[in-house]
Amino acid sequence: MASSQTFKLTYSTMFNPPDELHVRFDDALLQVKASLGREQAMMIGGKDVLAEEKFENRSPADTDLVLGIFQKGTARDAQHAISAARQAFPGWSRTPWQKRVELLRKAAEIMDRRTFEMGVVVALEVGKNRMESLGDVAETADLIRYACDRMETNNGFLTEMGRDPLVGYTSTNTSVLRPYGVWVVISPFNFPCALSGGPVGAALVTGNTVVMKPATDTPWTSRLIAECLREAGLPDGVFNYITGPGSSLGQALIDNQEIDGITFTGSFDVGMQIFRDFGHGKYIRPTILELGGKNAAIVSRHANLEDAAIGITRSAFGLQGQKCSACSRVLIEAPVYDRLVSRLIELTQKMTIGDPTERSVYLGPVVNKAGYRDYQRFSADLAESGQVLTGGKVLTEDQYAKGYFCAPTLVELPLDHHLWQEEMFLPITTLACVGTLHQAMQIANDVNYGLTGGFYGAADEVDWFFENIEAGVTYANRPQGAPTGAWPGFQPFGGWKGSGSTGKNAGGVHYLQLYMHEQIRTRVTRG
């Protein structure tokens, strides 16, 4: 990605990048802006496909800026994509896994070469700051490579089992993991690269064929992923990309009986509806759901308060709080409450808000008008029920006039308020003072979600935190952000309770197997 051999971009390292990274981002920004407003096709059966109806993709930072014209796909387009994937499945599934690995690694290399172009598109389309945008792309390539590595490490998931003790016969048993068939990936707006390309890579390398539908707010990033896969040489129909509303196009995919498995990342309510609808098929089909979070950071009286303050604000307000791992609740032991809150306010007020493509900006806009209105509604409720310490207002003047800009918000809120339980998906974090760590843990776990959890405290308190927190991803004393952060092979990401359906984390050692089912082969010969 960068010529520097010592710098590897991850969500841990992105806070101190070399200057070259910014130079290359600025160059890519000029190139991408020259291509704004172009029509982008769907990709079905290896061909670019146009629909009768179109929709505009506009920048949330400047709603006058049309990023591109995209296709409003229909149920018919969904069926064409499924049929193309179905036709391609026999050939792709029988392709040696080594060849599939080769092609997917090539796709990851192409993404590496296009990191800055794709990062700019993410920033323009989502509103992520430039480093978070580049991190999204870099993680995608690493997710694909990690899936390839897991296939290689496990020898294509072919395992010799024990031999039957049959006298006069030789009986061998082999376990083989095989692809299901046609897989659907429905991805969210907030990580339009990683949460599209990651599941797509896992599905493809295991031998499934794929139909991908991105969020309506972020069709461009997914189009670039499709181009990388096509350039890598995947056979026609192995991967298909369609765009359009979730209520019609997405539902047509979910309701189709020819789909063999589905991966969805998004809200709890939508995910549960998908689970119910997809369960109406002829038989049970795998459903991989990564849903919301209501993530707490617990701060002990023994914590390094500076690390806690930096980690909490980064987690709470990165991507404007629009991530399922955002720190939306902070529970602080009484002896350090005032000091930490004072520092949290100070750091929050220093955050630069503006055009996410600018180097100095940390917070961009929220992604759309619906989120913008939700922020105003929540802020009014919080101002009436609690004490807003900073933020609580939209920004509408000068550079903010044409975008969906919201001030990062910290609020002291009674623990019986409903917003301690509900995911807001916005730059809003609630604070509370607690008497003991045990009280904090009880509050942290008393939600329907179990995605991430963070802790700041003494070394001898950390094991207690890990043993008691009900979450799939946990962090202790992490200044880079808690409870936020993921990277394939380092911090696999997934949730418990209402935050996930499989109990296995993406980017981890157990994830790839979710895209395959097991076949036992018993071979008997005389003698």
Would you please indicate which residues are annotated as catalytic (active-site) residues? Answer: 290, 324
The reply to whether 12 falls in a domain is no
What pLDDT sits at residue 18?
87
Tell me: do 115 and 204 sit in the same domain. yes
Question: How do beta strands 327-333 and 287-290 pair?
Answer: unpaired
Task: Tell me the per-residue pLDDT of 4-61, one tens digit each, with 9 for 90 and over.
Answer: 446 777 776 777 788 899 999 999 999 999 999 999 999 999 999 999 999 999 999 9
Q: Containing domain of residue 193, as a range?
A: 19-291+504-522
Tell me: do 474 and 518 sit in the same domain. no
Handedness of CA 397, 398, 399, 403 (dihedral sign): positive
Please indicate, yes or no, whether the overall pTM of this predicted structure exceeds 0.85: yes
340 contacts 302 by C-beta, under 8 angstroms: no
Task: Tell me the per-residue pLDDT of 207-217, one tens digit each, with 9 for 90 and over.
Answer: 999 999 999 99
Tell me: do 285 and 308 sit in the same domain. no
Cα-Cα end-to-end distance for the chain:
58
What pLDDT sits at residue 6?
61
Count of domains observed in the chain = 2
Per residue, what are the HEC states of 89-124?
A: HHHHHCCCHHHHHHHHHHHHHHHHHCHHHHHHHHHH
Q: Flag residues of the chain having pLDDT under 70.
A: 1-6, 12
Tell me: do 375 and 483 sit in the same domain. yes
Tell me: do 392 and 482 sit in the same domain. yes
The reply to whether 2 falls in a domain is no
Tell me: do 431 and 319 sit in the same domain. yes
CATH code for the domain in which residue 461 is found? 3.40.309.10
The reply to whether 432 falls in a domain is yes
The reply to whether 10 falls in a domain is no
Dihedral Cα 147, 150, 155, 156, nearest 10 deg: -30
Tell me: do 119 and 221 sit in the same domain. yes
Tell me: do 307 and 198 sit in the same domain. no
DSSP secondary structure string for all residues of 433-489: EES-HHHHHHHHHSSSEESEEEEES-HHHHHHHHHH---SEEEES-TT-SS---BTT
Tell me: do 247 and 260 sit in the same domain. yes
The reply to whether 496 falls in a domain is no
Give φ, ψ of 95 to 5 degrees: -65, 130
Name 39's bridge partners. Answer: 69
How far is it, in rounded angstroms, from Cα 465 to Cα 467? Answer: 5
The reply to whether 238 falls in a domain is yes
Other CB atoms within a 10 A radius of the CB of residue 354 amount to 20
Other CB atoms within a 10 A radius of the CB of residue 503 amount to 11
What pLDDT sits at residue 293?
97
What pLDDT sits at residue 15?
78
Tell me: do 220 and 315 sit in the same domain. no
The reply to whether 287 falls in a domain is yes
Give φ, ψ of 31 to 5 degrees: -65, -45
What pLDDT sits at residue 7?
73
What pLDDT sits at residue 2?
40
